[in-house]
Each structure stands twice: as structure tokens, then as C-alpha cells.
Amino acid sequence: MPYNGNSIVRGKADFMKGQIIKDVIINKAASEKVARFFPWVYDNEILRCPQDIRRGELIKVCSPSGSFLGVGYINLKSTIAVRILSFVERPIDGAFLTEKISKAWERRQGLMRHTNACRVVHSEADDLSGLVVDYYNGYLSIQINTAGMENLRSGIISALERVIQPRGIYERSDARSRAKEGLDTTEGVLSGEIPDEIVVEEKGVRFCIRMRESQKTGFYLDQRRNREIVSSCVGEGFRVLDVFSNTGGFGIHAALRGAAAVTLVDVSSPALDLAAVNARLNGLKNVATAKADAFDYLDGAFKKGKRFDLIVLDPPSFTKTKSSRGGALKGYRRLMLAGLRLLKPEGYLAFFSCSHHISLEDLKRISLDAAEETDSRLEVVEHLFQDRDHPYMISIPQSFYLKGVLFRKSLP
């Protein structure tokens, strides 16, 4: 039978209750990846697609031979043209959304014994590509970043209200992601009420969240585990430097572990204002803030003869694309060099990257070069990764993005 761009799925695989669902045929290489549960199909991997396809439309993904591979949605305006939501034939409806959100919420309950803030939905790692949902002490902050998820908006909100029963839902969708999808940026209260400030805790440490002012969805929840690990190195009298501190997550933890003095460095005044609030929330008086470019501060501190027992280097992503990877590596190398020059002998340094395009081995290679240039001897104390409410699916390499190394500058 010649291909006409449509299929009607009936019987056991009663997809969308007999509606006509358009077929999208992808090439062999993409088919092999999808068969291993990779959920993306790029625009140059599509062999055949109906001409009347709509942005964000639900489609059936098929191999060159016509075999079923998955159900997802399509947007030919995006480089990632197809995002698969299910690898079995089933309706993508309210029941589907409720099931996926329920499973994601259930998986986080073990973590919720130690905190009242977590990521509930981590996009494709929770089978909901294009959707991010964070929970903050009874309130939700969400990102709807793709055309396909935008089409499912009402079902998503209903499912979140049914499963989690939040006191309020706030949307802070990513402007850059939506622009790539041909969507306008949107932000605001979707349901309930959102207070100006929400206080959350992680193992007794308190942080204030301001959804309307914050970066991303509110707080860097992925660093939760690493904040605890890094702060466990703090000894009596430690001087701590938290660079790219945002609202002070690492520094606040270190101060509560007994650091004598903590300096938080960030270029954002609102972030540092909130960091000061967080210090007061935790009864701390030994936390200072410095509004400055990170590299300028590090160079200036070195010239002034300042030295630290613990340094945290947690920069924003220096690269979003593979093509800019070379420049990013230079930036990370410069950062590590500056950090090592300020680190005392026997001191600790945590060095992070949140870019998928920078590997753990890249960080260690950069660190080795910087150690040689500064005549430092580095011991790897621990490898650091995103916390478990930000799942890493081995079939989705892009879901492994946050990596870091905790070093100790040992004596020869």
C-alpha cells in the first residue's frame, strides 16, 4: 500500500480512540536510536512527513519499513523536530499525563523525607519532554517549553492539580526554548495564589524562594546533594569563597558547618539580596556578599593576598552548543587557574559544569593542566553529579548535564 501520511490504529492499540494520526517516517539511524529509547528525532532525520502537519501535533513515529517506534509530537520549526512521549501505542490524553506525573511524584517521595522542595518532572527523563515542574513547600513552578507541551497545557495543569494538589502554580517558561519552538514567552500565576516568598528546607537548612524574581524555576535543586557533600569538608576556622553563588546555597551550608567566614560572589544584585535573606533565615552573621564579575573578583582577591580553605566554582553553562565548546573550555581553564591560586594548601575546591557538552573528563583534564601551571597537587575527594530528582537516563546522554569534582590541594 503506498504511503499516504496517515494511519488508523484500532483494536488493542486503540490510539486516540480511532482518530486519524499522521505517520512520520524517520531514517534508519534515527530509528535505531529511538529503538534504544532515545526520545528525540532531529529535523534532518525525517524521511517523510505529511505536508499539512501542524506545529506541536501528536504523531506516530515509524521506521523506513513502517514499523511503529513511538508516539510523540512534531514541530518542524525546531531542530529537535520530534519528541517522543511513549514507546508503546497509547493515547496521549489526560489519563496519560496523570499517570506520568503520578509516577514521577511517587519516585520523589523518598527524597521528600529530607526536604520540602524537589523537581517533580524533569522533561524527557520523566517521559514528558518539554515540561519541567518544581515543587516548593506546597507550590509549583513550571516550564512549558515546547509547542507539543503547549498544546497539552490544560491537561498538564489538571493533572498537576489532581496529583499534587498544590496551593498555587506559577509558570516561568524558558524564553529561549520557546523562541526556538516559535512560541511567545509566558509567565505568571496559573492557579491558586503565589506568595512573594516561600521558605523551603533541605536537611534543616532554610532558603527563601521568590518565584517572580528567580532564575529558571526558582532554585538550583540539582545541587542539593552536592551542597551537603562539599560543606562536609568545612573545618574549624575555614574561610570559604562561593563564586557564582546565586542565592548562596553552597555558602550557607558551609557557614552552618562552622566556617569562620563565607564570601558569596555574584553579578546579580537580586540574587545577593536573597542570599542575605537566607543568611538571616539561618541565624548566620558570618556571611558577606560581593557583587562582582567572577573573574574580576578572583583576580582582585589574588592581588590582595586573600586565600581560602574552601572554594566553590559553580558557573552557569559556558556553552549551550557543541560549536562553542572550545571557547567554553578556555573559560573553565581560566576559572580553575584563578581558583587554585587562591586555594590554601590542604584546602578544598569544588569545580562544576552544568553543560552537557562538557564532560567529567574535560573538567579533570582542565584541572590537571591548571594544577601543573600553579604547581598544585590535587586529590580527587569525590565526583559530584545532579541529585536524583533530576534523573539521568542512560539512553538520553543529554540528561546527564551536571558534573563536578571536589578536589583537595594536598602537599607534596
Q: How many domains does the chain have?
A: 3
CA dist 244 → 237, 364, 371 (Å): 23, 20, 21
Q: Are residues 51 and 100 in the same domain?
A: no
pTM score: 0.91
* Pairwise CA distance, residues 157 & 236, whole Å: 48
Q: Are residues 35 and 71 in the same domain?
A: yes
pLDDT digits (tens, 9 = 90+) for 139-180: 999 999 999 999 999 999 999 999 999 999 999 988 888 988
Which distant-in-sequence residues (6+ apart) come within 8 Å of 1 by Cβ?
none
The per-residue pLDDT of the chain, averaged, comes to: 92
Res 317: pLDDT? 82
CATH number of the domain where residue 361 is located = 3.40.50.150
- Residue 241 · residue 308 · CB < 8 Å: yes
Res 216: pLDDT? 63
Question: pLDDT-derived band of residue 190, with 50, 70 and 90 as boundaries?
Answer: very high
Q: Are residues 107 and 60 in the same domain?
A: no
Q: Is the dihedral of CA 59, 132, 181, 319 positive or negative?
A: negative
Q: Is residue 206 part of a domain?
A: no
Q: Are residues 228 and 364 in the same domain?
A: yes
CA dist 344 → 60, 104, 130, 163, 378 (Å): 58, 43, 44, 50, 12
Q: Is residue 383 part of a domain?
A: yes
In the predicted structure, residue 323 carries a pLDDT above the cut 80: no
Q: Quote the domain boundaries for residue 140.
A: 94-192
Of the residues 23, 56, 86, which one is the last residue of a structural domain?
86
CATH number of the domain where residue 33 is located = 2.30.130.10
* Pairwise CA distance, residues 277 & 274, whole Å: 5
Q: Count CB-CB contacts under 10 A for residue 136.
A: 25
Question: pLDDT-derived band of residue 316, with 50, 70 and 90 as boundaries?
Answer: confident
Q: What is the mean pLDDT of residues 114-125?
A: 97
User: Cα 252 from chain centroid?
Assistant: 21
Q: Is residue 244 part of a domain?
A: yes
In the predicted structure, residue 245 carries a pLDDT above the cut 80: yes
pLDDT digits (tens, 9 = 90+) for 179-188: 889 999 889 9
CA dist 383 → 225, 226, 360, 371, 380 (Å): 12, 9, 9, 17, 7
In the predicted structure, residue 17 carries a pLDDT above the cut 70: no
In the predicted structure, residue 385 carries a pLDDT above the cut 50: yes
Strand partners for 187:
172
Q: Are residues 274 and 158 in the same domain?
A: no
**Active site positions, annotated:** 354
Q: Are residues 101 and 188 in the same domain?
A: yes
Percentage with pLDDT > 90 across the chain: 85
Q: Are residues 49 and 153 in the same domain?
A: no
Q: Are residues 113 and 139 in the same domain?
A: yes
Q: Are residues 129 and 77 in the same domain?
A: no
Could you tell me whether strands 343-353 and 308-313 are parallel, antiparallel, or unpaired per DSSP bridges? parallel
Q: Are residues 111 and 144 in the same domain?
A: yes
Q: Are residues 153 and 174 in the same domain?
A: yes
* Pairwise CA distance, residues 175 & 321, whole Å: 17
CA dist 144 → 46, 82, 186, 242, 267 (Å): 25, 16, 9, 31, 28
CA dist 131 → 107, 142, 153 (Å): 17, 7, 10
Res 217: pLDDT? 60
pLDDT digits (tens, 9 = 90+) for 85-104: 999 999 999 999 999 999 99
**DSSP 3-state assignment of 162?**
helix
